Every structure is written in C-alpha cells, then in structure tokens.
C-alpha cells in the first residue's frame, strides 16, 4: 500500500525546539505541533509550558535541575518595528518563583533564522561551555578560555573563533559566573534580559553564552499584508509625538516630566523629585555625551543611546548608554547627579552582566542603612556610601559584580541582604517577592501598586500601561472594553478592571515577544490594538481574534500563578514595602501615600476578576476555561 505523507505548512515559525542536556552533552530537536504555538504563542507563555512541565517542585534555582528556556514568539523576526524580542524563563534565584525577562536586539530574530523557535536547557556542564546554533545545527563548545572575561572580550573571542562578525551572542559576564542573584543576560553587549537573576541560572550551569547565526528567512502567509502594515507604520510614526520623543531622547524622554510630577524615585523612595534631575535627563545626555543611536532588528525608532562619558568616567560606546531605569536607579535613587558616572555604572553592569535596576536599589539600600547607622565604615571596607556619594556608588557596582567585601552581601539582593544585616534594615529594602522595585513611584499612580504586588515575577513596572495615560483619554483602549477614564489615584474596582485588561494586553506582547513601546496603549506607541490581530493573522494564516489572543495571555498569567503557588508563594507575598503606606517626604506630591486597606481590597477584587479565590488560587473552573 502506498503511504501518502501530508505536510502541513507552518508560517512565521519553524515548528522546532532545540533541547540541550548539559549533564549528558546531548542535543536533540523537538518538533512541536502547531496547536502548541496557537495555544501559547511563544515567549513567556511557551517558557511557562516547559517550566511547569519539566521543573520539579521545590528545586533550587541554582541547581542543575532548574530548566531555563529561551523562547521567541510566533511573530518574532517579522520585518516590522518592534517584532524582535525574545523571552528567557526559569525558576528565579532572586524570588524562588517564576522568573522571566525579555530582551530586544537581534538575537531572537537570528534564532528564528537559524531554524529554531526556542531552546530548552537542563543540567550542568562539568566545564565552562557555550552553545553554537547555526542553520539548523547545534553543538557545545569549550568556553574555558573565556570564562571570567567581561562581555565585550568574550563576544570578540567567540566571534573570532567562529569566524563570523554577524554571530549574535546572548551571554553572561563575571556576575553570572559568580551567581549574583540579579545577574542578567546580554546580547550585543547592550540588550538585556535584565531581571529575575537569569544570568545566575546560566552561570550555575557553566553556560557562558549561546551564539546563533542563521541564513533562513521566515515564510509568512500574507507577506503583502505585512508590507502594507510596514508602509503604514513608516509613514505614520514620524507624525506621532510620543514616537518622535522616544527616537530623539530614548527611554529617558519622560524623566523631567516624571520629576516635575513628583514621582521620580529619589533617595531610596523617600522623595518624589530630585534637585539634579536636569543633570541626568535625556536632554542633557543628548547635549553632552551622546555620540550615536541604535535600534533593534527592523526598528525605525532607534531608541537605544550610545554614549561616551567624560573623564574620569569615560565610557566605551560599544556598551551603549543608560536607559531611564538606569538613570534613575544610579541617579535620583542614590542622589547622584553625575551623568558620566551613571553611564560608567551602566557600562560596568553591561560588562559584568548585572541588572541595573536591582544593582541601583541595592546600593540605595546600603546608603540609607549607612546614614541610619545600621552599617558602618568598617563593615563597608572603608567606604562611606551616603546619598550623593558618586565614587561609592561606582565602587559598589564593581564590588557587587565581583562579590568582594560587602558587595557579596548586596549581591544576594536587598531581601536577603536585609535578613543578613538585621537591625531593622528590612524597612529599607525595597522589593516585592524578593525582586527590587523599578524606578516608578506608586504613590502618584496607584496602578503601579497593583503592578508591583500582582506581578508573578516580583516587582515589575511592565505589567500594564501606567495610570496617567488614561486619566482623560481612553480612545486607544476602547477595543478592550474600557470606555471611561480612570483617576490615576483610584484604587477602586474601576482601577482594578483597567489594570486587569491592560495586564492581559501587555502580557500578550510578552507572549508574542513584541516591543511595548510600539503598540498602544503605551504613550509612545503607534500601532493600534487591532493591528496586532492583523499582523498575527498575516504571519500565521490562523484567522485568530483579539479574544483568542487575550485568552492566551490570561493563560500565561494563570500558569505563572500556578507555578508560584506550587513553589510556596502565598497571598501574603502580594504586598508592597511599608514605605509606600507612608507619605512622600518632599516634592510636588509631598504627603501622598497608598492606603494599605484600599490596596488589600483591590488585590482581592483582582483575584475574583481573574477567577481566583480570596487566597489567590485559581478556581478549577477557571483552569478548565483556559484549558490548562
């Protein structure tokens, strides 16, 4: 009898995942059914699919048994602005729960071009190694000679060994090798999977880098539609004030407005404005140390800064320049007004592989503890890191990355550091679930309180668009069913509903691996909500809907919650540091504070809106509804 093989064409993705076992040094290809892609879409959601399935309950995040997943979305690599990103997912050594981080650049698209949609890695190599993925093939390479090198030196060595300057490399630096709990993963020296300590997970596996190169180009169901949408975007983004501002000043375009509004985190979140905000602004950067701009794959906006700091803090432009979060973390939060010093601290983080947010919060924590007399000069190796001490700020970055002296304590993150120090220092440790707070003040936009407490990966400002955007205009989010403006200071059911639907939207972008800066409802966005549906369908040919995509996003949030519950996280962990229930001490919003009771009620309301019980556990009916 003649056998007829029916091949179903997949558009936009390869249908193939690379499986790597570092214990056995075995590499395999796994073919995925198209239903998996349609159910999970990719990115953080595909990472959660593997994390829940293959990581045992209670595993030590820094043990060989932890699984780390690098995943693209079904639209990664589409030649449109913003469709370039990839996610990394693992159990976090910082929070002991769901850990994830996204990055832009070129690495995600290159992995797709190399023939794979994701890489799933388990085990631990007996010696330093790196993974080389190229045109449908993969091999493990000896990294003994580059172990200990900073990221620029190791990138040059890998590219030299492979004989191709266009190899894209996602790697860790010495901080990841030394298991700093907020070590990050960098590609092209400046695009970071910054949060959750995933660089330490790579370090624990003796995995220095993943190098990728591919010459395959993706096939799309409706390439003409994609060209049409791309033409529309390129014609319209120069007319959009938010996109123009982001292109001109990068992510620091709102720093001065944030300061004027009284919500620029200052002095470890004691204040809401900084006297030297102009000195660390995007405008000052543009007029002084900016030497160029860069962008991610297929991006027209080019928001990445390239700087050369002034002596004694001259910087290497290869490491790019500081984003808003970095300017605030090393700047206003530490009350340091030296832009070149902040840029140098950013370079150190990129060279060593450190999350700039967590590093800045750890340093601000040590400054407050020093000023309160909890830490002494002797404990700090002779340093006197009071607020505003530029030299101490820079020195502490170096000490953290190397785990030298008191840097070893700060390398554990502020939650563990405060537990080690004691003496009431816990009061000054700004974290949720162990992850340090980003540079956004919830006492002036209360939706941030929900973002920080309800993010499954710990404090995260990228869970939803921030409140001020929708205080007067909700036109861009009417497709989500939000028809009325919501007060930025509300914590009532209207704010919870707004947050829920915006969280679903923004998490959808993390599943598809799309830049949040190019699709509304973010203020700098140009694409409209329904553009995303059109793009997904033009890529895949699925005839999907906004409802189907939003359900996939809800599936990812619920899967992350299920993972955290399994690992011991409870509703008691969904809380803010007590500092935010106290009034801001100065600035235009002096006296503003979060109501602890209102926040508790808002959290319960959110649980119920999500189909969870009052303890935050998803109801069986909700799991069945989401098919998980």
Work out the average pLDDT over 615-627.
Answer: 97
Work out the average pLDDT over 434-462.
Answer: 97
Backbone angles phi, psi at 403, to 5 degrees: 55, 45
Q: Please write the tens of the pLDDT for every residue from 179-222.
A: 999 999 999 999 999 999 999 999 999 999 999 999 998 999 99
Residue 8 has pLDDT above 90, yes or no: no
Question: From residue 62, how far is each of 11, 44, 194, 198, 498 by CA, in Å?
Answer: 37, 20, 17, 10, 37
- pLDDT at res. 525: 80
pLDDT band, very low/low/confident/very high, at 511 (cuts 50, 70, 90): very high
Work out the average pLDDT over 164-176.
Answer: 98
Question: Are residues 38 and 502 in contact, defined by beta-carbon separation less than 8 angstroms?
Answer: no
Residue 523 has pLDDT above 70, yes or no: no
Between 270 and 519, residue with greater pLDDT: 270
Tell me the whole-structure pTM to 2 decimals. 0.97
Residue 1 has pLDDT above 60, yes or no: no
Question: Are residues 530 and 545 in contact, defined by beta-carbon separation less than 8 angstroms?
Answer: no
> Residue 270's closest CA among 186, 208, 333?
333
Lowest mean pLDDT among 255-264, 271-280, 461-470: 461-470
496 three-state secondary structure: helix
The continuous run of DSSP H or E covering 244 comes out as helix 241-249
> Residue 605's closest CA among 485, 498, 504, 478?
498
Work out the average pLDDT over 299-309.
Answer: 96
Q: Is the peptide bond before 294 cis (omega within 30 degrees of 0)?
A: no
Between 6 and 273, residue with greater pLDDT: 273
Residue 4 has pLDDT above 90, yes or no: no
Domains within the chain, CATH numbers bracketed: 16-213 (3.60.9.10), 257-429 (1.10.569.10), 447-625 (1.10.599.10)
pLDDT band, very low/low/confident/very high, at 550 (cuts 50, 70, 90): very high
Work out the average pLDDT over 236-265.
Answer: 95
Residue 6 has what DSSP assignment?
P
Question: Are residues 81 and 237 in contact, defined by beta-carbon separation less than 8 angstroms?
Answer: yes
Work out the average pLDDT over 15-31.
Answer: 98
Residue 383 has pLDDT above 90, yes or no: yes
Residue with tokens 């701009």: 293
Helix ranges (DSSP H) in 280-421: 282-287, 324-330, 339-352, 356-371, 390-402, 407-410, 414-421
Residue 374 has what DSSP assignment?
S
Question: Are residues 273 and 587 in contact, defined by beta-carbon separation less than 8 angstroms?
Answer: yes
Work out the average pLDDT over 511-530.
Answer: 87
Cα gap 103→86, rounded to integer Å? 6
- pLDDT at res. 7: 46
- pLDDT at res. 522: 64
Helix/strand/coil percent split, the chain, to 5: 40, 15, 45
Work out the average pLDDT over 306-321.
Answer: 97
Cα gap 420→181, rounded to integer Å? 15
Q: Please write the tens of the pLDDT for every residue from 584-593.
A: 999 999 999 9
Residue 5 has pLDDT above 50, yes or no: no
Cα gap 360→325, rounded to integer Å? 9
- pLDDT at res. 520: 72
The continuous run of DSSP H or E covering 87 comes out as strand 86-91
Percent of the chain with pLDDT over 70: 98
| Average pLDDT value over all residues in the chain | 96
> Residue 130's closest CA among 168, 80, 183, 84?
168
154 three-state secondary structure: helix
């Amino acid at each position: 009898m003649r056998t007829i093989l029916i091949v179903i064409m997949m558009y936009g993705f390869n249908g193939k995942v690379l499986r790597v076992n570092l214990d056995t040094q075995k590499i395999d290809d796994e073919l995925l059914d198209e239903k998996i892609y349609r159910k999970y879409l990719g990115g953080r959601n595909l990472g959660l699919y593997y994390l829940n399935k293959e990581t045992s309950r209670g595993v030590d995040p820094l043990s060989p048994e932890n699984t780390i997943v690098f995943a693209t979305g079904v639209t990664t690599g589409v030649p449109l602005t913003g469709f370039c990103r990839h996610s990394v997912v693992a159990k976090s050594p910082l929070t002991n729960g769901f850990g994830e981080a996204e990055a832009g650049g070129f690495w995600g698209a290159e992995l797709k071009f190399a023939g794979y949609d994701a890489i799933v890695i388990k085990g631990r190599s007996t010696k330093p190694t790196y993974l080389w993925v190229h045109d449908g093939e993969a091999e493990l390479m000896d990294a003994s000679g580059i172990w200990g090198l900073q990221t620029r030196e190791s990138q040059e060595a890998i590219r030299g060994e492979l004989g191709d300057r266009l190899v894209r490399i996602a790697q860790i630096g010495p901080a990841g090798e030394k298991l700093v709990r907020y070590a990050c993963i960098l590609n092209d020296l400046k695009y970071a999977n910054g949060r959750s300590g995933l660089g330490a997970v790579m370090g624990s596996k003796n995995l220095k880098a993943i190098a990728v190169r591919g010459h395959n180009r993706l096939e799309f169901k409706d390439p003409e539609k994609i060209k049409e949408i791309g033409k529309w975007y390129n014609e319209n983004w120069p007319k959009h004030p938010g996109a123009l501002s982001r292109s001109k000043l990068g992510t620091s375009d709102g720093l001065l407005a944030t300061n004027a509004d009284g919500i620029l985190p200052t002095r470890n979140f004691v204040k809401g404005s900084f006297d030297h905000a102009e000195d660390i602004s995007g405008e000052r950067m543009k007029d002084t140390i900016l030497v160029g701009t860069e962008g991610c794959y297929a991006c027209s906006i080019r928001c990445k800064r390239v700087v050369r700091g002034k002596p004694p803090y001259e910087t290497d432009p290869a490491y790019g320049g500081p984003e808003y979060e970095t300017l605030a973390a090393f700047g206003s939060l530490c009350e340091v007004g030296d832009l070149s010093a902040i840029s140098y601290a950013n370079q150190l983080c990129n060279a060593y592989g450190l999350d700039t947010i967590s590093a800045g919060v750890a340093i601000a924590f040590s400054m407050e503890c020093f000023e309160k007399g909890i830490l002494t000069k002797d404990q700090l190796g002779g340093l006197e890191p009071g607020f505003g001490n530029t030299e101490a700020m820079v020195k502490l970055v170096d000490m953290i990355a190397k785990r030298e002296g008191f840097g070893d304590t700060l390398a554990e993150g502020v939650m563990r550091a405060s537990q080690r120090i004691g003496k009431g220092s816990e009061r000054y440790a700004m974290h949720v679930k162990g992850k340090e707070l980003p540079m956004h003040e919830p006492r002036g936009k209360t939706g941030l309180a929900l973002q920080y407490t309800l993010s499954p990966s710990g404090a995260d400002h990228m869970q939803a668009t921030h409140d001020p955007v929708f205080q007067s205009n909700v036109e861009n989010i009417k497709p989500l069913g939000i028809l009325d403006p919501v007060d930025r200071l509300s914590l009532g059911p209207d704010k919870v509903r707004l947050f829920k639907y915006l969280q679903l939207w923004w998490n959808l972008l993390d599943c598809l691996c799309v830049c949040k800066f190019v699709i509304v409802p973010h203020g700098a966005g140009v694409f409209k909500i329904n553009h995303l549906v059109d793009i997904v369908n033009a890529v895949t040919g699925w005839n999907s809907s906004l409802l189907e995509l939003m359900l996939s996003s809800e599936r990812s949030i619920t899967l992350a919650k299920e993972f955290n519950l399994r690992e011991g996280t409870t509703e008691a962990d969904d809380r803010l540091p007590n500092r935010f229930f106290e009034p801001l001490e100065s600035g235009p919003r002096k006296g503003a504070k979060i109501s602890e009771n209102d926040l508790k009620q808002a959290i319960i309301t959110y649980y119920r809106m999500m189909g969870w019980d009052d303890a935050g556990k998803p109801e069986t009916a909700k799991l069945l509804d989401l098919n998980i």
